Structure 1
Amino acid sequence: MKNNLIQEIAISLVLIILLVLFLNPFGFWMPTTLLMMMVLGLVVVFVVFASFVWKENTRDERESLHKMMAGRIAFLAGTALLVIGIIVQSFKHELDYWLVFTLGTMILAKIIGLTYGRIKY
């Protein structure tokens, strides 16, 4: 369990580093080949991260509670950040529609997941 946690944290950190590099913080001009390699790396690391999240197993109620709390905190943090982004960009009259689509998709996925859980279990 502890080894799995360390691997999950390492993959999460690699994913965050790749996302920060997409912001181009060092002012590098990204050639097409470098950008394509970064996109491929992002996709691969995200698939590995998603597999860790999907395969998470709990052994008792306490671990199950921790998993649910982590999911809720992550969902609320993501939606709060998207709402802040939508508000800030709306005041600048430069609203990026991807923010709205992402927030809508997250909310729809939450509703679908709750409905699926109630029907199946």
Structure 2
Amino acid sequence: MNNLLSFSIVGLMMVLLFTLTDPFMYWMPSATQMIALTIATALVCFWAGFIIREGAGDERETVLRMHAGRAAFLSGVIVLTLALVIQGLAHAIDPWIPAALAVMVFAKLSARWYSDRNS
């Protein structure tokens, strides 16, 4: 899969996520439109996060994938921590933010523990 297709899929995912959140209250979708948009966004996010460019390769490709995964994890932690601080200062913390942050950190520690134990 070439890089143009990968970036196109990421661009589509960003447009769908932006449309789903509708930060400027530009449109008022019906319930059916919102469900369809949510399902389409979830499928694209799932495909972009789990399936795209996950083929096996040589050692160099494995190291590059590990670096990309680490950068993605750290970016997620930074964004969620920033959201937690901003919402904490506003006294309105969305429970999904600390839950997502806790799951990310727990998954990393569990994977680390498993790999240290089995290597």
TM-score range, shorter chain: 0.7 to 0.9
User: Which residues in structure 2 correspond to 1:105-120 (within 5 Å)?
Assistant: 105-120=103-118
Structure 1 vs Structure 2 CA RMSD: 1.9
Q: Which residue of 2 aligns with 1:31?
A: 30
Q: Secondary structure at the match of 2:67?
A: helix
CA deviation after TM superposition for structure 1 residue 99, in Å = 0.5
State the identity %: 21
User: Which residue type is aligned with residue 29 of structure 1?
Assistant: M
Unaligned runs of 5+ in 2: none
User: Which residues in structure 2 correspond to 1:48-87 (within 5 Å)?
Assistant: 48-49=47-48, 50-52=50-52, 55-61=54-60, 63-87=61-85
User: Which residue type is aligned with residue 28 of structure 1?
Assistant: W
User: Which residue type is aligned with residue 7 of structure 1?
Assistant: L
Deviations 1:23-60 (A, max 9, x none): 2146101210110110110122123221225x332223
User: Which residue type is aligned with residue 103 of structure 2?
Assistant: T
Q: TM-score, normalised by structure 1?
A: 0.83
Equivalent residues of 1:79, 1:103 under 8 A apart: yes
Going from structure 1 to structure 2, the CA distance change for 1:120 and 1:4 (only over 3 Å counts) comes to farther
Q: Which residue of 2 aligns with 1:14?
A: 12
Structure 1 Cα separation of the partners of residues 55 and 73 of structure 2: 17
How many residues are matched? 117
User: Which residue type is aligned with residue 52 of structure 1?
Assistant: I
- Shifted more, 103-112 versus 8-17: the winner is 8-17
Structure 2 Cα separation of the partners of residues 93 and 44 of structure 1: 33
